[in-house]
Structure 1
């Protein structure tokens, strides 16, 4: 059946190439219009309780798209007129930034930050620094005193040493455009950032704005990687067809996938460019295998009439099964990612499956069809100058000598050791700051400065929710909230907390003419209700809404975090659950957990819960496919070896280097499972093919290693050189993923060349040796229309 299909493709090659060229150009045109952006909603797992809490209360207690600006005078404290004018300017101009929530802009210059005083004459409230900036020393001193005595401001909007202050702005999630926000806020900062102050800028819109800022560099690196790929390919294969056809295959598959995504309205996240390079490398890999096998077939056939077409047909026939199996394995392993409830991973999985599937046409079919037009065999005996031959001979000597046993023992020791260290892989971010950018990047330096001077740049809120109105006015509820805050503040990474339970004691003290004896929560529900009413009556509308809803049924508690590491978030959530279990709210409950940290906690929980499941399912896909194709359950178990080897080594390297398993690295890990088996499939299938012809057993291994093994080595060298180029990226994530891909390819190639042939030679699995009949044969024997050369 495969032979008839191959003959049909060669017979109608002109029509086939014309049709594929038209499809490629059509999709390439559509690919130019694909939307490149990060959509925040796609990052959130669906139907997760943390996400539901966030969506319900984000407008009141804070979304995950908060931007924080820190203004720090070079000399002196912040109580300088010129410094405060800069704060006022930023506070006012932030209202002009698209998608900003006007009611969630907070600073010393905003109306929300107030001073409340009381006397026998009544309760008085006034904004700390609105509408005008203090100009005289007396006014500056009064502002200083008001700030120092205000527990809501100190440590939250003004640093404890009074040398910096914050301006925070929240954005409406479904309207925010990270690139626009990034550019407009940076333009505002340029207006005030002079020699007298240092301005720091953090927040997720800024983080992803930096990703978009480096998009041009990313595209340049992608083009440079293609150039490196072409140069190394030409240096190793030394033919134009061996260089250009793999690149044509990669271009065709990429165009089809991106064009299809554009037509379906699927956006392309800038961070998954590395995944795109990895998938394109699969097209190049399969195409190199086909070109290498074609040149071998053509060399054997010589100058007979129609040699090119016969060689192309033979190549398509012989490599159809291992090539299609490798592609199906890759696609099946990526399909596992689509089971995640995170929309970004679902969309990425769809795009990746489409992309990988097109390789079956662009590489397995198109490459041999194009090769059928080669007029004359020009494959010379280039082995003396071949830099790959020593490695291939070493692999053959390992299999043919007693060295195969030490090689297998070494592989087993490495597998066990790397498997042990792989358990140290962290889920979520593994280091302070953002793992997307380098530690010395502007963003991570700004983040470190904000965290060093304040409670924390990132926030989580939890909600005390009651069954009836007035729930949060009950003294026992407020006392419970206060105890929860003190309990969470014992965690070092939680810089501070804030809730209505911090506001009411201050109002209580003011009502008692500043007597510090009353700086406490009342024990009477009527009194707490009165304090809330007084605070609300002397404030602007909505000032209390950031702490309590209008029905006094829900109250938010904000936790400030000094880093967003996975371990920090897991510890915080575990402590919250511990406290809630031991201190239940009568007539209500605590709802976890909104804000950026809460959402990251939801993502980490989804990844943690699905990580082992995803790996197990991906391995199951591999086992089932190999079992069906080779009609042997042993085949499925046999080909798990390179997969487990490459993945455990890579995961242990991630644990060693502090690279966490997060939403950005999960797709690369899933692709790595399929990536680990492709090389072994080609080599073992060639061993099986040669053994079926009979003859010398070692000759079969020699043929497999010097043909399929050569293509593996060429592909690995080309792709490793191009992936390591990403280490020059300004985005740490892309650099690390390039390094991981290079490691995956190296381990996969070494395992396929040294470990898998040794395993096959020692254990002689039936699916490889099923039709083997050891009979002597001459060094060059005729098999049908094909000659088998001696590669010794």
Structure 2
């Protein structure tokens, strides 16, 4: 940037840059306006083409911290696990009577066949009363007898239905596939990761819609009610709900246009900022698509934020052009003057926004990292569209006469509100907002100590409690013995050793330990099957419901164990832990219990021994390399395991992210204003808002999770804009020779008006999110509304009070002289 020297007009409160020493960037842009417009037009066409390539992605992997130890352990055994996250459960309830009727069984059979052919279903793993892998077993005088629950001889008659009833009771599926009250049954549907026909990742949104159209809509009626749960279904419902974001975006545009017109009283000053901000959205989405990124549930909210940020900076530009036009400048000179006075604070504010977003990269979760990238690209686009395109377009069309008259009237008037607020910079009034801020900070800090990591509600916290999915989930939890919140612990050993006594005994002890942990309902593993079969082989005597030390008996007892309870080479046997819920406290307790047991029972031996065969293990024992078969408990799989890993990643990253965003904002502000006291005036109100927002989350019962953590960075990154614009203008007025209170009054009449308008407009826009069917969007709406308003109030109330104690007008003027030379006397 060229060195800038200042001279003053005859009006003491107004100084401009000398035309001979105008910034080089201004000369390049405004002396080549047509060329710049052509380049920007070509970029718009390019990104508009990219916009047609945007895809909505529902991949589960993006919502999982793939580099976390739990997930890495799960991925090692992913192909062997039958209880991963990509499972859906469909329950069919008889509204009258029970399931043992001919009509119910026929309906269940039809639904089973329908689901079997839905694209994305792993047909080999499907299970229901009609699939052959659902079997019953009993012990008779002649030995074991068994078969499929619904035999091949079933004909729907009374005798067949009674046989099915008996088979269900013998199958052990009551509370699992069949409800405890016998009024409903479940079809357990595992999914494939990739579409077998196209080879692309399965679209959970399409799969969810297929279930709605082919199952719920077709078979749900007065006689039968359909319930569908599972992570893929939840994601599908969320993606469907995300469509409402378009309506919120439209509502925000309409409200912004109305408020902007009331603010500027100029149709051109209303339309151009909106168009410029929309162009930034098109550029952002088009750039993402061209770079190979997709849009997901979280980044789909980013275009709205880009539009809102664009409007907030556009208001400053329009306000500056209107003020200069009111002072007699022509449309070109007014645009140049506005650009000249605002591009430095505008660039600083936008860089702070971008760095705030980029701090989200610290969180090792795909959706948050892509949100950070999407938002940062969006801010980069705003720098061009709103700090370059907007003033150049306005240099051609200018502010309307009505807008100029309104600007003149506003500039000359001294509203009572602004005059009253100027007293926050007065020595007699300044202590009060500071004392109040200290009290609020102490209260907020104390309250924020109870802030929890993770989900605090039952069901799917991303959706509202009365959403269809959560009502379905509540039905499942209330009518079946097995919880929908499952933590899977993988027990690793050597090949063909998962049924050895040492391994089975360790698993048995682990199950007993976990069943006595608060929040755990029950556990299931290979040991459960072994004990059940051993008891059955001994006339059902309960005394035999134990593990045998005889290896032959152990081998026999697990011959018919479900494939979900051991992998093909018997080197891993999962223990399925059913939890009461997936609340943060429940997950923390369960994981801590597993870690405590693991520390006592894990064999700390070389990794290679876990891959040994029987013969190699025997040889290693003979060679005294190891004492016995190795055993290791590994966390974690299941939906609860995934959420526990996610909570840990968020807990580890939140403080680092917050510290980094404040450090970056501090550095950027200091590089611009070269004053620690100036930076303190800008950042202290911001820090107060951060503390109060955490207190608000505690009060509202909102945990720190994937959906809410980005808001913390967004609130800091976007909220600093207010303080930067206010302080930048305040400093200009102080250099012009005004007292602090006079300088703040002039700041309020120009920049303060734009800041208050921006804060209210942004708050109103995101406040509409509170009505969203997606609860995490509603939570974000509440928090962002609060942060936008409080950051605005902090800049307008607390900043001038702090300035009274921290700023020295003499030092500001001296620093300005050192950087730009002597200031000619006013007039």
Hey, what does 2:314 align to over in structure 1? Answer: 287
The answer on whether the counterparts of 2:485 and 2:640 sit within 8 Å (CA) in structure 1 is: yes
* Mapping of residues 63-142 of structure 1, within 5 Å: 63-119=84-140, 121-131=142-152, 133=154, 135-142=156-163
* Alpha-carbon offset, residue 123 of structure 1: 3.1
Counterpart of 1:268 (choices 289, 292, 295) is 295
Instruction: Number of aligned residue pairs: give it.
Output: 765
Alignment of 1:560-575 (within 5 A): 560-575=578-593
Give the structure 1 partner of residue 77 of structure 2: 57
1:414 aligns with 2:440: yes
Question: Which residue of structure 1 lines up, in the alignment, with residue 746 of structure 2?
Answer: 703
Contact 2:425 2:740 in 1 (8 A): no
> After alignment, is 746-755 or 388-397 more displaced?
388-397
Q: 1:3–1:313: 8 Å Cα contact kept in structure 2? A: no
Identify the match of residue 337 of structure 1 among 360, 368, 384. Answer: 360
Equivalent-residue separation in structure 2 for 1:697 and 1:704 (angstroms): 10
Q: Which residue of 2 aligns with 1:717?
A: 760
**How far apart, in 1, do the equivalents of 2:809 and 2:445 lie?**
28
Deviation at 1:786, TM superposition (A): 11
Question: For residue 794 of structure 2, what is the aligned residue in structure 1?
Answer: 751
- Residue 134 of structure 1, CA deviation: 6.0
TM-superposed deviation, 1:784: 9.6
> Which residue of 28, 41, 62 corresponds with 1:42?
62
1:447-467 CA-to-partner distances (Å, cap 9, x unmatched) read 11111222212322111111x
Name 1:541's counterpart in structure 2: none
Is residue 2:164 matched to residue 1:143?
Answer: yes
Give 1:444's aligned residue: 470
Offset at residue 712 of structure 1 (A) = 0.3
Kindly tell me: are residues 648 and 707 of structure 1, through their superposed partners in 2, closer, same or farther at Cα, counting changes over 3 Å?
same
Q: Is contact 1:109–1:130 with CA below 8 Å preserved after alignment?
A: no
Match of 1:4 among 9, 14, 24: 24
Counterpart in 1 of 2:596? 578
Give me the whole-angstrom Cα distance separating, in 2, the residues matched to 1:582 and 1:288. 63
Instruction: Quote the offset at 1:686 in angstroms.
Output: 0.6
C-alpha deviation, 1:266, in angstroms: 0.5
- Provide the rounded CA distance (Å) in 2 between the counterparts of 1:767 and 1:199: 75
Indicate the larger mover: 518-527 or 322-331. 518-527
**Residue in 1 aligned with 2:770?**
727
Structure 2 residue 388 is matched with structure 1 residue 365 = yes
**2:644 equivalent in structure 1:** 601
1:486 to 1:3, Cα distance in 2 relative to 1, 3 A? same
> Aligned ranges for residues 571-720 of structure 1 at < 5 Å?
571-584=589-602, 587-720=630-763
Q: Is the deviation greater in 378-387 or in 192-201?
A: 378-387
Aligned counterpart, 1:545:
563
Name the structure 2 match of 1:771: 814
Post-superposition offset of 1:184:
1.5
The answer as to 2:300 corresponding to 1:257 is no
Q: 1:763 to 1:634 in 2, by over 3 A?
A: closer
Shift of 1:189: 2.8
Cα RMSD after superposing both structures: 2.6
Q: Is the counterpart of residue 162 in structure 1 residue 182 in structure 2?
A: yes
1:168-187 to structure 2, matched below 5 A, reads 168-174=188-194, 175-186=201-212, 187=214
Shift of 1:650: 1.6
The Cα offsets for residues 556-593 of structure 1, whole Å up to 9 and x where unpaired, read as 11122343222222221111112222344662101110
**1:94-127: per-residue Cα shift (whole Å, max 9, x none)?**
2212222122211222222211234454433301
Shift in CA distance, 600/366, structure 1 to aligned 2, threshold 3 Å:
same
Q: Is the 8 A contact 2:410 2:749 kept in 1?
A: no
Match for residue 323 of structure 2?
A: 296
CA distance in 2, matches of 1:134, 1:408: 82
SS at match of 1:270: coil
TM-aligned CA distance change 1:336 to 1:265, over 3 Å: same
Deviates more, 1:449-458 or 1:633-642: 633-642
Q: CA deviation at 1:217?
A: 2.4
**Offset from partner CA, 1:402-424 (integer Å, 9 cap, x none):** 22211111112112211222232
Q: Secondary structure at the match of 1:372?
A: helix
| CA gap 1:209/1:674 in 2 versus in 1, 3 angstroms | same
What are structure 2's unaligned runs of at least 5 residues? 3-21, 195-200, 604-628, 818-822
Match of 2:340 among 317, 329, 351: 317
Deviation by residue 1:280-309 (Cα, 9 ceiling, x = unmatched): 211111110111122112222x2x6xx322
Checking the alignment, whether the CA contact within 8 Å between 1:77 and 1:163 is kept in structure 2 is: yes
SS of the aligned residue for 1:241 comes to helix
CA shift, 1:271, in A, is: 3.5
Assess if the C-alpha contact under 8 Å between 2:670 and 2:676 holds in 1: yes
* Pair 82,17 (structure 1): closer, same or farther in 2 beyond 3 Å: same
Q: Measured at CA, do residues 381 and 41 of structure 1 come closer, stay the same or move farther in structure 2, by a change above 3 Å?
A: closer
- Deviation of the 1:64 alpha carbon: 0.3
2:283 aligned counterpart, secondary structure: helix
Between the aligned partners of 2:322 and 2:824, the Cα distance in structure 1 is: 18
Return the alpha-carbon distance in structure 1 between the equivalents of residues 319 and 599 of structure 2: 65
Displacement of 1:327 in angstroms is 0.8
1:218-258 per-position Cα deviation (integer Å, ceiling 9, x unaligned): 21221121111111221232222332232122112111111
- When residues 206 and 389 of structure 1 are mapped into structure 2, their CA distance, relative to the original with a 3 A threshold, is farther
**Structure 2 match to 1:780:** none
User: How many Å separate the matches in 2 of 1:470 and 1:409?
Assistant: 70
> Does residue 475 of structure 2 align to residue 481 of structure 1?
no
Report the Cα distance in structure 2 between the residues aligned to 1:281 and 1:91, rounded to whole angstroms.
Answer: 48
CA gap of 1:79–1:583, structure 2 versus 1, over 3 A, is: farther
Tell me whether 515-524 or 171-180 shows the greater mean CA deviation: 515-524
In structure 2, the partner of 1:498 is 524
Superposed CA offset, 1:526-572 (max 9, x none): 21012223x26xxxxxxx32111233221111122343222222221
Q: Which moved more, 1:728-737 or 1:741-750?
A: 728-737
Please name the residue that 1:278 is paired with: 305
Per-residue CA shift, 1:384-434, capped at 9, x if unaligned? 899994543332133236222111111121122112222322222221121
Corresponding residue for residue 490 of structure 2: 463
SS at match of 1:397: helix
Q: Distance in 1 between matches of 2:69 and 2:570?
A: 22
> How far, CA to CA, are the matches of 1:785 and 1:691 in structure 2?
14
Question: What residue ranges of structure 1 are gaps of 5+ in the alignment?
Answer: 537-543, 775-782, 788-792
Q: Under a length normalisation based on structure 1, what TM-score does the superposition of the two structures give?
A: 0.91
Q: Return the TM-score normalized by structure 2.
A: 0.87
Contact 1:505 1:521 in 2 (8 A): yes
Q: 1:489 to 1:160 in 2, by over 3 A?
A: farther
Q: CA deviation at 1:737?
A: 1.4
2:536 to 510, 521, 531: 510
Summarize the Cα distance change of 1:177–1:130 in structure 2 as closer, same or farther, 3 Å threshold.
farther
**CA 1:770 to 1:412, structure 2 compared with 1: closer, same or farther past 3 Å?**
farther
Partner of 1:400: 426
Deviation at 1:515, TM superposition (A): 3.9
1:539 corresponds to: none
Match of 1:354 in 2: 377
2:217 aligned with 1:217, yes or no? no
- Tell me, in whole angstroms, the C-alpha distance in 1 between the residues paired with 2:65 and 2:643: 10
